[in-house]
Every structure is written in C-alpha cells, then in structure tokens.
Amino acid sequence: MQSSAQDAGTPYVLQMFSVSKTFGGVRALDDVSFEVREGEVHCLAGENGCGKSTLIKIVTGVYTPEPSADIKCFGQSIRSMSPKQSRAMGIAVIWQDLALFPHMSVAENIAFDQMVGNLPRFVRVGSRLDQVKSILDRLGVQLDLDAPLNTLPIAQRQIVAIARALMGDARLIFMDEPNASLTQSETDHLLEIVRNLSAQGVAVVFVSHRLAEVLEISSRVTVLRDGKMVGVFPTEGMTQARLTELMTGASLQQTVAARDRSAAKPVLAVENLTRHGEFENISFTIRAGEILGLTGLIGSGRTELAHSLIGMTKPDQGAIYLQGRQIKPQSIRQAIDLGIAYVSEDRLSLGLIQPQSISDNSSISVLKSLLNQIGLLSPDKQGQMVRHWINELSIKIGDPDDAVSTLSGGNQQRVVLAKWLATEPQLLILDSPTVGVDVGARAGIFRIIRHLAENGLAILLISDEVTEVLFNSDRILHMNGGRIVNEYDPRQTSVDALEVQIYA
C-alpha cells in the first residue's frame, strides 16, 4: 500500500528522537527515533523484547522516558504525559487483549469512556447511540448495538475496540497484533477498515508478527532490534525474508522438511472420535518419528480435540489407541502416566507458573522421580535434571532459581518443552507452540521439534499458521467445522495452495 502520508508535505502526528528507557539496569530502549505522519499506516516491527511495547507505553504516558528524549505530538513538545493526557490528545492503543467488557453491550463498550467520569452526571443515551451509529457508519460496518460483547466473534470485537478509539476522537491509533486471532477473510476486512481510517487522516501504527499483512497495509516500517533502532524502510519492494533478516540480524531459510514415515510403527491411532458440539468422526494415525500437522481456522475444533486426547475432556464416542492398546485417559495426570505430553497454546496460564523458578517449572511434572529416600525433594536430583534440559534445549537463563517470568517468550516455551520431555513421553502434542514467540526464536524451537522427531518421538503439531505446518510437518491434516476435511503432503503443495483451502 502506498500512502500519501509519505509525501514530505504531510504533517507529522508524532516525532520521537533520542528516546531511551532503562529498567533495573536493562536498556529496554537505546537512543530510538520514531516518526509517524498524518494518515500514514506505519509498521513497528521487531522480535519480542526488542522494545516495541516500551515505546508505545512511552507515547501513551505509561512510562516516562529518560531526559534525553525529544517528543512532539501533533506539533506540541511533550516533556511528560499521563495516560489521560495522551487520550485527550487523540492517541489510542488497541492491545491484543482488546481491554473490553464482555458482559456489556456493543454500544456501552464503544461509548464507555464518554459515559464515565470524575463527576456524577446524567447520560443522554439517545445522543450517545447516535454518536455510536455515526462512528460505525464511518467504519462502514453494522453491528447489533444491544448485543452483549461476549456473543460477538473476535473480528467484530476488534471493530468495537476501533470504534471506541474513534469515539474518543483518536487521531493516532496503535494496533498491537490486531490480526493474531483472525481468519484470512476477517483479516482482509480489518485491513480494509485500516485503509479507510488512513484515507480519513487517522494515523495507524500496526504491530504484527504476520509479516505478509504488515507489508500489504503499511507504507513504511520502523525496525527495532535489542532496544536499538535498525532503521526506517519503505515497504515497497520489501520481502518477508528481508524484513525477517532486519528484525533478527540473521537469514532464516524455510524449506519443506517432510519425510515418508509410512513404514514406521503407529504410536497413536484415533478412530471416529466425537465430542458433540466440538468435533466429529475424527480418525488419523501418528507414527514413530512423525510430525503430523493439524491446521485450520480458530474454532475448527483443533484444541478441543487435543483436550480429549490429553484427558481434559471426555469424548462421547470413538476410540483412542496408544501403541496398539486402547486408552481412556480421565485426567491430565493419567495421560502423562500413559505417555502423552501436551504443550498448551496458553503458555502464561496453563503452561507455566510465572512467579516460580525456572528450576521448579522444569521439574514440576516429574517431582515423584526426584524424591529422596525419605520422600523429600532431592536438590541434587532436581539440579541434575534441570541442567540436562537447559543444555539439551539451549535455554538462555541467568540462574535456574530466577523466576520463569524473567525469560523471553522463546525461552519460556523451551522451559515448557523441558517440563514435558522430562516425563519421557511417547506422544507430544504441541498446540500453537510459537504463540507470542518472535520469528527468530521460532526457528530454534522448530529445530528442537525436528530433532525430537528424528529420535523417534511422535508429534502432533497444531497451528493455524500455514507456513509452520507446511515447513515443519511430514503430513498435514486440515480441520474445518469439527471435521477433518483433507490431508496434504507438504512436498506436493505450497503455502498459497494451502491458504486458498484453509482461508476460503
């Protein structure tokens, strides 16, 4: 997308120079500059931990930069700013979790900031509804204003969040991973709304790991790496591979690595597995050393299927066979004892105990095996096991006793893998293993996954990212509406062909 915002005569809505920020001796931002013009769609790119969120929080008044910073918003010099002042100036952020109220109506969510205040007052409901309708008309969308927000799909909740920002007369909107949970058609609609905002003079800063959409929607991209500015680049002529190199400082080559495992021994066999309302008549086999990719849109039943395999829910009919023996896991603990491990897509709440140490998180699944003769946890056994997996998975840490929350997303995910691999599973289920993990760390995680498969572990890889399953699976199953609708050989298909089928 080429924007008139690139023209030298278009005024800036935001100019930041020499911005630095330090937390506890760690330099989160180091002499960074960032500029956005009126009506521009600008991408802010970089791996997790590069400083993107810190920069946004400085713009919105959450953090105060170091005194060297020179910041102008809408032509006005800013020394320090509170979140309230930031909103009053016309700056809004739509975070990935949207920060909406699920049990309030669409209209109440959109008009929320105008309906609350420091002083009690009457609210002219009719007037507010007219304003809400006007904002939605401006976006070119129609929503049921009386519907509770939690009845809307995620794509429409995104629209509600955008409408709320416009209700506050936003002139600069930051969108943090706005398309992470959207289908392709929903993403296309979101991008059209962003183009519409740009045409109306609203500047949009787009933050996303989905680089194809970044290059399609933005005119320029500012790249950060390790808290420092790499540069500002026009997106015209930019490729995903080149942008990845700028973000990581390394060239990441993706090639199909599929192998024929049809002669290997079956590890998991699922026959006509059904859980009413979630998935139906699911049948497939995973063999020793095979990575079976399972893809499909969010809501297709992929995670629900995984929950039944791991004993979190009970299927209504069908059978599960592990190493030729029928199993009926009634709990996660029972599934672990049977030889099944599960890496959840929700690492923060289900995968790790954030306040606890790296050591405790790595060993929590095998505590019984680490007890001494009198039934107490043996520090020597625990330390030996933890050191083994830190070395085996190349986990970058300071001290094993540090809280796991101090690690980057990629290293946290490796700790989750360590926790499950310590159980010596026969089957490893990976549900969206790179959610919240940046592009550089993803490559390292998939090298580990491939190594595990080469050593005979059967792996079910669940992901809605087509490139992940295509380049890292030996076979691919496509799930839609709770059913498996197709099977693909990665060696005989392409990203484009898969996306046409999945996002149709």
Type of residue at 311: G
CB atoms within 10 A of CB 351: 23
pLDDT of residue 115: 60
Amino acid 369: pLDDT: 86
What is residue 74's DSSP assignment? Answer: T
The pLDDT assigned to 4 comes to 40
Residue 89: DSSP 8-state: H
pLDDT tens, 27-51? 889 999 999 999 999 999 987 778 8
CA distances from 388 to 391, 392, 455 (A): 5, 6, 17
Beta bridge partners of 223: 45, 231
* Closest C-alpha to 104, from 148, 52, 65, 68: 148
- Judge if pTM exceeds 0.85: no
* Spatial contact of 18 and 33, defined as CB atoms under 8 Å apart: yes
For residue 473, give the nearest of 296, 291, 302 by alpha carbon: 291
Sequential DSSP letters for 54-106: HHHHHHTTSSPPPTT-EEEETTEEES---HHHHHHHTEEEE-TTTT--TTSBH
CB atoms within 10 A of CB 373: 6
* Interatomic CA distance for residues 90 and 108, integer angstroms: 20
For residue 122, what pLDDT band results from cuts at 50, 70 and 90?
very low
Six-digit token pair at 471?
A: 């380049």
> Which tokens go with 425?
């599973």
Residue 276 pairs in a beta bridge with none
Topology of domain 254-339+429-504 in CATH is Rossmann fold (3.40.50)
| 81/381 Cα distance (integer angstroms) | 52
Q: How many CA atoms lie within 13 A of 193 on its CB side?
A: 28
Per DSSP, what are the bridge partners of residue 487?
Answer: 477
118: left (phi over 0), alpha (psi -120 to 50) or beta: alpha
Has residue 139 got a pLDDT over 90?
no
User: Rounded distance, CA 62 to CA 44, Å?
Assistant: 18
Q: Tell me if residue 284 falls in helix, strand or coil.
A: strand
- Per-residue tokens: 248: 């990581």
Give the pLDDT mean for 78-84.
83
pLDDT in tens, 159-199: 888 888 888 888 999 988 776 656 666 778 888 889 999 99
Mean pLDDT, residues 209-214 taken together: 77
Which structure tokens are listed for 316? 């209504």
Sheet strand arrangement including 291-295? 340-343, 427-431, 458-462, 291-295, 475-480, 483-488
Rounded to whole angstroms, the Cα distance separating 459 from 452 reads 9
Number of continuous H segments (helices) and E segments (strands) in the chain = 17, 20
Q: Which of 98-112, 178-192, 230-244, 446-460 has the lowest mean pLDDT?
A: 178-192
Nearest C-alpha neighbor of 278 from the set 311, 316, 312:
316
- SS3 for 164? helix
Task: Find the mean pLDDT for residues 337-358.
Answer: 81
Q: Which residue has the tokens 């799930």?
A: 479
Domain pair 4-248 / 254-339+429-504, same fold: yes
Q: Which residue has the higher pLDDT, 440 or 325?
A: 325
Q: Which helix (DSSP H) or strand (DSSP E) does residue 205 occupy?
A: strand 203-207
145: nearest Cα among 133, 162, 161, 157: 133
Is the confidence at residue 10, as pLDDT, over 70? yes
| DSSP annotation of 350 | I
Is the pLDDT at 324 greater than 70? The verdict is yes
* H/E segment holding residue 159: helix 154-167
Helix runs in 141-223, H state only: 154-167, 184-199, 211-217
Which residue in 173, 161, 112, 167 sits closest to 134, CA to CA?
Answer: 167
- How is domain 4-248 classified at the CATH fold level? Rossmann fold (3.40.50)
**Tokens describing residue 362:** 């790595």
Domain chopping of the chain, boundaries: 4-248, 254-339+429-504, 353-424
- Three-state DSSP state, 435: coil
Which of the given ranges, 111-115, 490-494, 500-504, has the highest pLDDT on average?
490-494
- Residue pLDDT, tens place only, 409-435: 778 888 888 888 888 999 999 988 876
More confident residue, 491 or 51: 491
- The structure tokens listed for 418 are 């360590």
Distance CA 128, CA 399 (A): 54
Q: In the chain, pLDDT over 70 holds for what percent of residues?
A: 90
